[in-house]
Every structure is written in C-alpha cells, then in structure tokens.
Amino acid sequence: MDGMKLLGTDAVGLADRDLRFGISFLKAQIKRTQLPMVCANLIDKKTRTTAIQPYLIKQIGTVKVGFFGLMSDKVDLGLSRDSLAVDEPQATAKRVVAELRKKGATAVVLLSQLGKVESEDLVTAIDGIDVVIVGRNVPMLQKGRLIKSTVACYGGEQGQYMGRTILTLNSAKKVTSGDNDVFVLGPEVGEKPEIATIVKEFEDKFNERLAKAQKEQAAKQLASASQDAPDRYVGSEVCQRCHVAEGEQWKTTKHSHAWQTLVDAKKDATPDCVPCHVVGYQKPGGFESGAATPKMVNVGCENCHGMGSQHEAFAAVPQKVTEATCRTCHTSTNSPTFDFATYSPHVMHNFTGTLPVLPPHESSMMKPAPGH
C-alpha cells in the first residue's frame, strides 16, 4: 500500500485477500496511507453500508473519470465473515454506474476482482462501463479485448506487467472507442528508488522472520518421518567422492554458489526463492534449512541427475540432462531470457569450445523477475 501510494495510484480495487487480517486492520492501513481504495459491494452487516468507499470520481484533464470496485460474492471472507457480506455484483454495478453518470463521470472504469469469466459476463450484461481492469487469477493478454463497448485489460499476476488503455472521446466528451496493450516490466525498466527501498525493507524483515522460524523447527524437521524414506538425497559431497573431476568442474559454475546469491539478497528463507538454490528442498534427505542442512545448499549434482540413493538404477543406463530438467527452475518467470543451447554449456561437465555469452542481467546466475 505504501508503494502504490508512492506511485501515485488513482484508485485501487479491494480483493478478499486484502481482508486477511480483518476489516479493522485494513481500514487502519487505508487511513495511514491515504490510499484511494474502492469496493462497491462489500457491505458492513451492522450498518448495511459499504465497508469502504464504493467509488470515486477523479478529474483528469478536462474529463471526469469514475472508478469503482467489485469483488466476488462467492469468496470466503475469512476473519471478516461475521461482520461483512458481499452483495451480488451485477445488481451493484448497474446501480453504481448510474450514480457515477449522474454525478458527471464521462468515463467509467471497473476495477474487478471477479476473475476473467465473471468480469466478462458482467460487462456484457451491464451497459455504461468503458473499461474493466480484470483481476483475480487472470492470464496476461498482450492485447486487450473489446466486450460489447467495454475495453478489457488482462494484466496477469505478480505485478510483472503494465496495462495501458487509451480511450478516444468526441467533441462532446463521449467515449467513442478504446484500445488496450499490456507491456512486460523487464530488466530494461528501471527501479524507482523509493519503491525499491520499501520492498527491500519488507523482504529483509520477512526473510528474518522466516529464518527464525526455520531455526526453531530445525530439530523437528530432522526427526520427521521423511528422514526414514528409502530413497533420499545424499548431497554433492558424497557424489564427488567418486566423480572428482566433475565435482571440480562444478565448482567453477554459477550453480556451485547459488545459495550465496540468496544470502547476499537476504532471501535465504523466502519460500518462493529457496527451492531453486538448494538440493532436494523439503524432500527426504534434502534441504530443510540453512542451519539444519548446510551441506544441501547450492544447485548440486542431484538437482540435475536425480536422488543419490537411486544412483545404481540410473547409472546403469546413460542419462542426459534435458531442457525439461533445467526448466523446473529456469521458468519464463524466474529466468525470462533462458535458452537451453546458450545456458547449458556453462554447466556441462564435458563441454569444450567457446562458451556462449549470457544476457547481461542474467550473467550472475538468475535475477528473479519483478514480484518473485
């Protein structure tokens, strides 16, 4: 919320996940940040009024733009279910659009947390919505859709894309057409220092909290039933007792100090990051925590070749590491420039020749994508 305020966000649609800590906590954060959050169908059961402001009208140049939010009436409100209710979205939308137009809104924007199908159904049924920003587990579509006269924007998840919607108005300031494009926020997009500072402070504190919890649970984790599993990870040190040359070559690769990249970034307890920087994350014999299983850090032999306890089985038949193996971590999200032919020579044991040049921003292992 602090970040969105710094970015100058004009309106924010409420979702059920924003109520994780209850409506009182959320209201306190809205008051603290002065973030313009809206939802037209979240109702306080006691007063039968909207729990937060239903909509707002903002003067942009010579045009008045109305923003309102909707959330699904099928969600579980969790801690807030006793005090809050969600009205049926279509009936709410019809009423709110009429109010916004009556108050002079030239353009109406719906910040929807209904998901793809329900959002599309709503704007098909309700006239007067010029733009719908489709939220809640939606795909990223590089080109928006025109649903009747409504321009729909699908920006994906995790804040990795930015949607731009352009509305064309006639001389009477009536919307005549619209168009939407979505752009990936790739490495070429610079950081805003104030936002980077907020994110870094949050992630550092979150990582510290997770690390503390992991340390406290380390003994229990080591004694868990998984430790008695017949197949298990054994660690790269065991493999290198026989495969000495391969082990020495591995030490020259980025994989051999993948864990340190997390430590340096203070993400060594972040669940979204750790699995791809260690061996056998939370599997029998594998990584549990930095404190409990220090020998299972880094991307080691078993990440590519399989569990050490299964060595006899897979050693009997020559095995090749395929692109599919690498793609378990080098996904389009975590490693957007990954190309198997370019990357694999940098870790292959028997490669001879000139190493292909890695993209600049990925030349030191992986750089997590925005939001990762």
* pLDDT higher than threshold 90 for residue 288: no
Among the ranges given (109-113, 327-331, 354-358), the one the predictor scored with the smallest mean pLDDT = 354-358
**pLDDT score for 100:** 98
pTM reported for the whole predicted model: 0.66
State mean pLDDT over 113-142: 95
**pLDDT score for 219:** 57
* pLDDT higher than threshold 70 for residue 227: no
Please, are residues 62 and 43 in contact by the beta-carbon 8 Å criterion? Answer: no
* pLDDT higher than threshold 80 for residue 272: yes
**Confidence bin at 360 (pLDDT 50/70/90):** low
**Confidence bin at 128 (pLDDT 50/70/90):** very high
Which residue in 84, 77, 95, 89 sits closest to 41, CA to CA?
89
State mean pLDDT over 258-278: 90
* pLDDT higher than threshold 80 for residue 245: yes
Sorted by sequence, the CB contacts under 8 Å of residue 87 that are 6+ apart come out as 41, 43, 73
Crossing angle of helices 89-102 and 116-125, in 10° steps, is 50
**Confidence bin at 111 (pLDDT 50/70/90):** very high
In this prediction, what percent of the chain has a pLDDT beyond 90?
55
**DSSP letter assigned to residue 57:** E
* pLDDT higher than threshold 60 for residue 2: yes
- Domains annotated for the chain, with CATH where assigned, are 2-184 (3.60.21.10), 193-362 (1.10.1130)
State mean pLDDT over 27-44: 97
The 10s digit of each residue's pLDDT in 294-348 is 899 999 999 998 888 887 766 667 678 888 999 999 988 888 888 888 888 888 8
* pLDDT higher than threshold 70 for residue 220: no
Helices H, strands E: what count in the chain? 12, 12
What CA–CA distance (Å, rounded) separates 129 from 12? 17
**pLDDT score for 368:** 39
AA letter at 78: G
What CA–CA distance (Å, rounded) separates 134 from 153? 6
**pLDDT score for 364:** 41
**pLDDT score for 229:** 64
**pLDDT score for 35:** 96
State mean pLDDT over 153-158: 87
* pLDDT higher than threshold 70 for residue 241: yes
Which residue in 269, 282, 280 sits closest to 226, CA to CA?
282
Contacts 24+ apart (CB under 8 A), 155-163: 155/182, 156/182, 158/333, 158/369, 158/370, 158/371, 158/372, 159/185, 159/370, 159/371, 160/184, 160/185, 160/333, 160/369, 160/370, 160/371, 161/185, 163/133
Which residue in 298, 275, 290 sits closest to 347, CA to CA?
298
Q: What is the mean pLDDT of the chain?
A: 88
Kindly tell me the burial class for residue 171, based on how many C-beta atoms sit within 10 Å of its own C-beta (0-12, 13-18, 19 or more): exposed
* pLDDT higher than threshold 70 for residue 153: yes
DSSP class per residue in 120-147: HHHHHHSS---EEEE-SS--B-SB-EEE
* pLDDT higher than threshold 80 for residue 260: yes
State mean pLDDT over 12-27: 93
Higher pLDDT, 111 or 190: 111
* pLDDT higher than threshold 70 for residue 369: no
**pLDDT score for 81:** 86
Please, are residues 6 and 192 in contact by the beta-carbon 8 Å criterion? Answer: yes
Distances (CA, A) of 53 to 72, 96, 325: 17, 12, 49
**pLDDT score for 363:** 42
* pLDDT higher than threshold 80 for residue 60: yes
**pLDDT score for 228:** 60
**DSSP letter assigned to residue 252:** T
**pLDDT score for 290:** 84
**pLDDT score for 191:** 86
